[in-house]
Structure 1
Amino acid sequence: MIQNQTFTSRYFNGVSAVPEEGTVLVNGQTIQFTSADTNHKISLSQFTEFHRTHNGCKLILLPDEIKESPTLEIFCTKEETKLLEKTWIQNKKSQSHASAFFYSIREMNPIVLGLLSLFVVSVVGFFYFKGLELVTNFIPLSMDKSLGDSVQLKMETQFEACDSKATDRFFSEALKQIVPSDSKHQFQVSVIGSPIPNAFALSNGKIYFFSGLLNEAKSQEEVIGVLAHEIAHVEKRHHMRNLVKAGGTSLAISLVVGPGLGNMEFLETLTEIGSTILVLKFSRDFETEADKTSIEYLKSKNLSTDGLLSFFQRMEEMEKGENESEETDSATNAKEETSTATQITDFLSTHPATKERMKTLESLIQKGKKGTIKKIVSDSTWKEVQSTCLDFKKSDSK
């Protein structure tokens, strides 16, 4: 504790921008400022904030949100600043139990405090995101339908459907086989004329298959496997869960970074990057869950589970082949790369055919009954399904 020491100082009264030059006498728990015109005696515990400066310290009397606060600047050495801060903290700790706890934390070693903060944030974050999972349970399924309906309207204006009697028959029979008997969703499948080997589902149960996937499929099993995967996304409410988690993540990061970022664009960028990374992780987790659930659907109906695995394996091989072609003959095949490699890469970005995913699928398939190969439609009808939108594909490649 500093006793009867005098320091050069200056006092800002919170009204005038011109400070009063004077001296400060520190005597235990009190500070006495003296200048040519004034004499202030203030208890150390009255100061709400203590900040170190390059040439001493600064004590602020009132919280920022009240009004412009009177401020006392003291010019002293680093060691004297540490002693002053220690004296100020001891005075603040004596005010209440809450103050004692808060200012005890402030006295902690920065490294220890950082590790403790990281631990607390991790624990709170874990339960926070677990809580977000529960939030979806309180959102009615009608919200999923409304969300899907709004997207469907946009889809139908932007893409050309090329459904046929063969595709309608195939997917109608496939849905009867795969959709769980207790499902609360109404599923429909439509084919979009596009060479991209992709498929996706909306939260209202509407599933879209791009004709490229049907054209490239090696068997009915592959298409059935992909269909089961998309049904799983809807049944597990991945769209709504992802929406809730994305919103919750953005809110959490904004609260940590703080509101009113002003011109600190790097903090805004950090918030966006953090949100994007976490949302992508959620998407990958949901893809894994959809894989597992689709295998369960197929096994429960005694359907073969090999099709889904073989399809993703082929997509992975096609991506590798296109990447090699891009390196060796990029100038000659620029147009083909744009239409094929990029499309497959886009597909894999939402349906990641990683080695870990393949291993998971293989282990799931090996467990329990394998299932039998069942033809949903006859060979002739399947050929019609596979030739869907071929005219569109040819015209698109010209």
Structure 2
Amino acid sequence: MFQNQTFTSRYFDGVSAVPEEGTVLIHGQTIDFSSRDTAHKLGISQFTEFTLTHKGCKLVLLPDEVRESPVLEIFCSKEEAKKLESLWIQTKKTKSKTHAFFYSIREMNPLVLGILSILIVATIGFFYFKGLELVTHFIPISMDKSLGESVQLKMDAQFEACNTKATDRFFSEALKRIVPKGSPHQFQVSVIGSTIPNAFALSNGKIYFFSGLLNDAKSQEEVLGVLAHEVAHVEKRHHMRNLVKAGGTSLAISLVVGPGLGNMEFLETFTEIGSTILVLKFSRDFETEADITSIEYLKSQNISTSGLLTFFQRMQELEKEMTKSEKNPKDANAKDDQVVTKSITDFLSTHPATDERMKTLESLIQSGKKGSIKKIVSDKTWKEVQSVCLDFKNSDSK
């Protein structure tokens, strides 16, 4: 590759800050450096580092525990520096299989190497997050209950429940039918006075229904569908799985980036995540799993499964109407419409009713037995359920 070629060079011996100016003669795998006062015969394999520079290249000798490692700088063209680097890599690859593997990677095209690196990182990330799913199996259910209870205290202090005998009876009967046998969770439903058509569950089995959802429901089946969905979130431990994923992601970032572990900021971050993740939206996978599971619950009790679908369809239509009203306000009630729009949007942010999800629900309902329209309570009791918290709603709209 190099036939007794000579290049201008300088040599730092690791002791003096002043380099020796001289020339190098490259022949075979040997580099002969000579200056006016000294001469050094060095094998290319002796150098532990090779770096391309704008003037040529820089080679670093074996590190020394006592002094800085000597450095040889060679001034040459970019093409000649790359040829010398290739020669250096070939000598390194002959040392061992490990060296051969490592330096073969270094020889790769930067673009190919970048793509390969992304694939490796993606693969490691995939198995890392899949492993986080397994972690949940080792966490006792009591942890779900404890986390849920801590959030429930804040919820009960912030919102006033307006349960009635009718709502207690309806949800009590509904839970008896929907909750799977042998469930380790104790479910309880609390109705909150609010026009927001929303519902969410805590990891301890406490489920909150906003009265707006009950007031506007077109049938018992709609509420049963939403209830089954929330029960599925708890049964599938989505809160804990979400928390483990969030904590695992935070830990991974901390390990890669660095800060946060030394001063316990990571633990503080993890605690903050734990206090909020229980009432935040779930991932699309969790929502789909809750949809599938809720349909299974309803079908097992021969309860109509169409309620959940019609409920989300109604929410989508309302959102579209209110969005138009928000863009083109025509009357004095525009402000109230915007409030309702935000309420519906808030619901859809925690229960994303995407077109894809709607199609999934439709296919689930059409397959297997569809269930029959089954009333949990009498029409009279249902009317009482639908009128719950109306005083709050009326006062809220004034």
TM over 0.5: yes
Say if 2:238 and 2:282, in contact at 8 Å, map to a contact too.
no
The corresponding residue for 1:209 is 209
The corresponding residue for 1:315 is 315
Shift of 1:313: 0.4
1:199 aligns with 2:225: no
CA distance in 2, matches of 1:67, 1:297: 73
Aligned counterparts, 1:33-44, within 5 A: 33-35=33-35, 39-44=39-44
When the two chains are superposed, the root-mean-square deviation of aligned CA atoms in Å is 2.9
The corresponding residue for 1:335 is 335
Partner of 2:100, secondary structure, is: helix
CA distance in 2, matches of 1:15, 1:380: 96
Shift of 1:192: 1.6
The corresponding residue for 1:171 is 171
Change in 2 beyond 3 A, CA 1:225/1:64? farther
Q: Which moved more, 1:216-225 or 1:328-337?
A: 328-337
Partner of 1:105, secondary structure, is: helix
Shift of 1:212: 1.3
Say if 1:326 and 1:333, in contact at 8 Å, map to a contact too.
no
CA distance in 2, matches of 1:121, 1:206: 39
The corresponding residue for 2:391 is 391
Partner of 1:181, secondary structure, is: coil
Change in 2 beyond 3 A, CA 1:235/1:82? same
1:184 aligns with 2:175: no
The corresponding residue for 1:265 is none
Partner of 1:304, secondary structure, is: coil
What do the CA deviations read for 1:224-270 (whole angstroms, capped 9, x no partner)? 11000000001011111112222333444565x55469xxxxxxxxx
Say if 2:326 and 2:338, in contact at 8 Å, map to a contact too.
no
Amino acid at match of 1:286: F
Say if 2:15 and 2:67, in contact at 8 Å, map to a contact too.
no
Change in 2 beyond 3 A, CA 1:209/1:120? same
Partner of 2:24, secondary structure, is: strand
User: Unpaired segments of 5 or more residues in structure 1?
Assistant: 262-279
Partner of 1:303, secondary structure, is: coil
Change in 2 beyond 3 A, CA 1:42/1:301? same
Identical columns (%): 77
Say if 2:322 and 2:338, in contact at 8 Å, map to a contact too.
no
Change in 2 beyond 3 A, CA 1:63/1:356? farther
Change in 2 beyond 3 A, CA 1:28/1:315? same
Amino acid at match of 1:173: E
CA distance in 1, matches of 2:149, 2:301: 30
CA distance in 2, matches of 1:67, 1:223: 77
Partner of 2:4, secondary structure, is: strand
Say if 1:167 and 1:385, in contact at 8 Å, map to a contact too.
yes
Change in 2 beyond 3 A, CA 1:153/1:260? closer
CA distance in 1, matches of 2:21, 2:96: 34
The corresponding residue for 1:276 is none
The corresponding residue for 2:49 is 49
1:288 aligns with 2:282: no
Q: Which moved more, 1:20-29 or 1:10-19?
A: 10-19
Shift of 1:10: 3.7
CA distance in 2, matches of 1:135, 1:99: 36
Q: Which moved more, 1:286-295 or 1:151-160?
A: 151-160
CA distance in 2, matches of 1:64, 1:200: 64
CA distance in 2, matches of 1:295, 1:42: 75
CA distance in 1, matches of 2:121, 2:145: 35
Amino acid at match of 1:140: P
Aligned counterparts, 1:256-275, within 5 A: 258-259=257-258
CA distance in 2, matches of 1:166, 1:66: 84
Partner of 1:51, secondary structure, is: strand
Aligned counterparts, 1:1-398, within 5 A: 1-12=1-12, 19-35=19-35, 39-61=39-61, 70-252=70-252, 258-259=257-258, 283-329=283-329, 335-398=335-398
CA distance in 2, matches of 1:67, 1:242: 52
Shift of 1:117: 3.3
Amino acid at match of 2:315: M
Amino acid at match of 1:112: V
CA distance in 2, matches of 1:230, 1:369: 22
CA distance in 2, matches of 1:36, 1:260: 51
CA distance in 2, matches of 1:310, 1:65: 74
Partner of 2:9, secondary structure, is: strand
CA distance in 1, matches of 2:133, 2:25: 58
Q: Which moved more, 1:282-291 or 1:161-170?
A: 161-170
The corresponding residue for 1:267 is none
Change in 2 beyond 3 A, CA 1:326/1:2? same
Aligned length: 379
CA distance in 1, matches of 2:13, 2:248: 43
Shift of 1:16: 6.4
Change in 2 beyond 3 A, CA 1:311/1:6? same
Say if 1:2 and 1:87, in contact at 8 Å, map to a contact too.
no
Q: Normalising to structure 1: TM-score of the pair?
A: 0.86
Say if 2:281 and 2:350, in contact at 8 Å, map to a contact too.
no
Shift of 1:107: 1.3
Partner of 2:149, secondary structure, is: helix
CA distance in 2, matches of 1:85, 1:222: 71
Amino acid at match of 1:389: C
Change in 2 beyond 3 A, CA 1:281/1:105? farther
The corresponding residue for 2:269 is none
What do the CA deviations read for 1:180-210 (whole angstroms, capped 9, x no partner)? 0121111111112221111111111111111
Partner of 1:82, secondary structure, is: helix
